[in-house]
Amino acid sequence: MNGLLIVDKPGGMTSHDVVSRVRRAMGESSIGHLGTLDPMATGVLPLLLGKYTRLAQYFGSLEKTYTGTIRFGFATDTYDAEGKPTGEVVQIPLMLEQVRAAAAKFYGEIEQMPPAFSAKKTGGKRAYQLARAGETPLLKPARIHIRKFEITSLADNTASFLMTVSAGGYVRSVAHELGIELGCGAHLASLRRVAAGPFALENAIPLAEIEANTAEMLSQKMPHPRTLLAELPCVTADKFSMGRLRNGAAVNLPEFGSAPLVKVFEDQQTLVAIAKRIAGTLFQPVVVMA
């Protein structure tokens, strides 16, 4: 089965666990996700199935939107509720406007240090492997963009928030650094991804529902292939061009202005290739799907 499935990931399992269960449920061995969610987190986890896994490179920069809560008073070693406290609980009477003012410092382009307990690689090992062994991973800060960070409420030392962040950004790190900014320590208490690029929670299917349905029924709930990678123009090629594309040969396609890449379809539904402009209307396939 080829396509994209938007899963509403439950808490308490890794993204890889979700992939494994969907593989069994749909009888499709080739599945990959578009952006890891921590075990604690829930929400939107887009999966590419079958030959669509070849398109993963074009989804690499998906902006993510989250809702969640931040608990003030103490930090943890993992920066979230699953970690161990790194100090005593501090009681500081925080005001909503005070927290909002501190959060405003995280808008825009910022340098962010990934958590020690993360999947970042350093010295050939995952950072969390080193951290679990009692070592300090040598991580480098990354430049990310936080387009939105709204503190929506504050009660009992816990703030609710809405955040939109670029690919590669860690919400856990923002929570941790916000606690430092306020001088009381903090950690991420809960997290739900409500959107990953154009893929929204209202179109996500709970994992239990996926496991209870047939692959044929689930295929009807997948986004239409022509709506995927909406920034790329679509073209339906003739039979002769299809044959050349499948063999990796260049073909002439209708003009699309200056678009460097196009999606080539055999019919309204079947995506055959992603093709790159060589010159004029001449396009070379860079990914062949069928």
The answer to whether 17 is a known catalytic residue is no
Measure the CA–CA gap between 90 and 189, rounded to whole angstroms.
Answer: 16
How far from each other are the two terminal CA atoms of the chain, in whole angstroms?
Answer: 12
Rg (the chain; Cα; Å): 22
Tokens of 39: 């075990």
Tokens of 185: 């320590």
Q: What is the dihedral of CA 16, 121, 145, 113, to 10 degrees?
A: 120
Query: Catalytic residue among 8, 38, 77, 238, which?
Result: 38
Measure the CA–CA gap between 13 and 33, rounded to whole angstroms.
Answer: 14
- The closest of 223, 187, 210 to 40, measured between CA atoms, is 187
Measure the CA–CA gap between 177 and 269, rounded to whole angstroms.
Answer: 47
Measure the CA–CA gap between 2 and 49, rounded to whole angstroms.
Answer: 5
Whether 11 contacts 190, CB under 8 Å:
no
Measure the CA–CA gap between 85 and 101, rounded to whole angstroms.
Answer: 25
Report the SS3 class of residue 46.
Answer: strand
Active site amino acids: 38
